[in-house]
Structure 1
Amino acid sequence: VWDLIKLGDYLSAREDVDPSRIGITGESLGGMHAWFAAFVDTRYSVVVPIIGVQGFQWAIDNDKWQARVDSIKPLFEEARIDSGKSEIDAEVVKKVWDKIAPGMASQFDAPYSVPLIAPRPLLLLNGADDPRCPVLGLQEPASKATEAYAEAGSADKFKFIAEPGVGHRMTASMVKEASDWFDRFL
């Protein structure tokens, strides 16, 4: 995210860039980076994370962390060994998140950080069957964002789409939705 803050510095300093019209998107980890960059840097005026937002604590609390952990398993295996555990469990997962990104499963988690992007245009794109970013774990962040955007008088600037039958992958329709969102707000 620090790199994206520095990118914001670079883009804002260019004469050929309107600093009030800088959008950000990304897919999977890139979507997570877009979400966190927009949370901390208001220069990102339009935000479209694709299959990147998730409720980290929700996944721990609801035993839905396995697919995310499997995507970077060696890290969690090392933590399991260091903890003296026979298998990776929710406690190991929480310890890893707290170590590599303090606050990611607490004060910076989606229910708290996503609504703070308001009133800037935010489109969350996800697969309805995504095991890494489970839709059920996005209900609270989406609900809180809906409230935040309504309170800011910007209800039309927040949208959450969970594409039916899609797992953790970006689709052509997601690309079209993202493109249309940028066209509309940039």
Structure 2
Amino acid sequence: MPAGEPAGGPDPPGTRGSVGRRAFVVGAGAAAFTGAGTAAAAGAEPSGVAGAALAGTLPDFHPLLKDELRFPLAWGTSPIRDFRTWRRVARAKVEDHLLVARDDTPYDPEFDARRAEGDGYVRESVTFSLTRYGRVRGALLTPHGTGPFPAVLLLHDHGAKFDIGKEKLVLPWSDESRLASARAWADRYFSGRFVGDELARRGYVVLAVDALGWGDRGPVGYEEQQALASNLYNLGSSLAGLMAREDVRAAGFLAGLDRVDRRRVAALGFSMGAFRAWQTAALSDDIAAAASVCWMTGLKEVMVPGNNILRGQSSYYMLHPGLARHLDFPDVASIGAPKPMFFLNGGLDPLFPADGVRAAHDKLRAVWRSRHAEERLRLKTWPDLGHVFTAPLQDEVVDWFDSVL
């Protein structure tokens, strides 16, 4: 999701300031943010900063910055006319901006001998080398029966809730200390269901892993996200780039399991997990389809005063510095074309303005249409829903997976 909201809920305590225009001056004689240097030079009062003082700031010249964003590498705008060549060039451009190198470290998985039965499937933990930087523990669900099975890489949301990650989507069976928190999250956003367990019951192998900062790999504090991101930048790396690389690696691990039909691996996520799902589909050839629930917009339409993304913090998990000079969000997702992809948004979602969703959908539709594959793209807005992934939406996504995989 765009920033540190509890998946669309209220702000964490102390994070929202009063909305208004305010100049920030640091030290004697320091210059404020201004909208026009000529006005300042003429003695006019600086126009200040648009946005909430404690919730992120936009310089008042931000419309000029947005005007400079032309997304010249977007399909249809780029001078490249061969789609396969464009996909290769666009993917390389995204990878350049991840600031994290590709990784071919052997996964070297260790499967926990302790297994637990679910309703028609088996739960087990697997520890593997997600990158060269360390090993992680994932939740792996496998249906009863004879494989190989279709599979889903399940990507958790942000939500400003860090004590659980994979447990937001998969019932924690071996750590009761997280059970109450996980059930409360499922009740709040998923109609009381654990999405991963429902997928496994329906015949899918499911893998869920914590992103850096959550669950086994955290918890990070809400205010610490920005420091974590800046420290990685100082080390020549990137928080968002690391997460992108890790998700691609997780897709490769899942596709390589003997129990999985590697031609039928999908990515699914809600909120920040939705961003991760379409991003992974764009960057990984191991993902055959993707469903993204409540994360798609045009960049210009979401960068407006009052929007949650302006508060920073969790936006660093989705921020690839400089990439916006080349590609918009739907342009990156379009690298996945013509794979089957499903984008769902809530019409009452406060995080994504309706005009941003429409602009993104228009771009996506044009790309898939250009590939004569419009039937593989599904775009839907539920008018009476906000930032949630309720049971009816889950059923629709699983039915869609059944049809395309």
Please say whether Structure 1 and Structure 2 have the same fold, judged by a TM-score greater than 0.5. Answer: yes
Q: Are residues 1:25 and 2:282 paired?
A: no
Structure with greater proportional strand content: 2
Whether contact under 8 Å (1:68, 1:131) holds in the other structure is no
Q: Flag the 1:138–1:106 CA change in 2: closer, same or farther, 3 A.
A: farther
Q: Are residues 1:68 and 2:316 paired?
A: no
Cα offset, 1:19, TM superposition: 1.4
Q: Flag the 1:140–1:106 CA change in 2: closer, same or farther, 3 A.
A: farther
Q: Which moved more, 1:103-112 or 1:47-56?
A: 103-112
Distance 1:46 1:36 in 2: 12
Helix, strand or coil for the counterpart of 2:261? coil
Query: Any stretches of 5+ residues in structure 1 without a counterpart?
Result: 77-95
Partner residue in 2 for 1:167: 386
Distance 2:331 2:306 in 1: 19
Distance 2:305 2:390 in 1: 23
Cα offset, 1:45, TM superposition: 0.8
Partner residue in 1 for 2:255: 12
- Over aligned residues, Cα RMSD in angstroms? 2.3
Query: Any stretches of 5+ residues in structure 2 without a counterpart?
Result: 1-243
Whether contact under 8 Å (1:107, 1:113) holds in the other structure is no
Larger radius of gyration: 2
Q: Flag the 1:103–1:38 CA change in 2: closer, same or farther, 3 A.
A: farther
Distance 2:319 2:334 in 1: 23
Distance 2:267 2:276 in 1: 9
Q: Are residues 1:141 and 2:382 paired?
A: no
Query: What's the TM-score once normalised by structure 1's chain length?
Result: 0.76
Count of aligned pairs: 161
Query: What's the TM-score once normalised by structure 2's chain length?
Result: 0.37
Distance 1:74 1:118 in 2: 30
Whether contact under 8 Å (1:57, 1:105) holds in the other structure is no
* Pairs within 5 Å for 1:49-60: 49-60=292-303
Q: Which moved more, 1:119-128 or 1:37-46?
A: 37-46
Partner residue in 1 for 2:125: none
* Pairs within 5 Å for 1:11-160: 11-60=254-303, 63=304, 66-69=307-310, 73=311, 75=313, 100-103=319-322, 105-160=324-379
Structure with greater proportional helix content: 1
Q: Are residues 1:177 and 2:383 paired?
A: no
Distance 2:330 2:312 in 1: 28
Q: Flag the 1:134–1:171 CA change in 2: closer, same or farther, 3 A.
A: farther
Helix, strand or coil for the counterpart of 2:263? coil
Q: Flag the 1:106–1:74 CA change in 2: closer, same or farther, 3 A.
A: closer
Distance 2:285 2:305 in 1: 31
Distance 1:105 1:53 in 2: 15
In structure 1, give the amino acid aligned to 2:384. G
Helix, strand or coil for the counterpart of 1:162? strand
In structure 2, give the amino acid aligned to 1:185. V
Deviations 1:45-94 (CA, angstroms, capped at 9, x unpaired) = 1110111223233211xx2652334xxx4739xxxxxxxxxxxxxxxxxx
Distance 2:305 2:355 in 1: 10
Deviations 1:91-124 (CA, angstroms, capped at 9, x unpaired) = xxxxx76x94224644343231122221100110
Helix, strand or coil for the counterpart of 1:44? coil
Helix, strand or coil for the counterpart of 2:262? coil
Cα offset, 1:30, TM superposition: 0.7
Distance 1:24 1:145 in 2: 18
Distance 1:64 1:2 in 2: 31
Cα offset, 1:23, TM superposition: 0.4
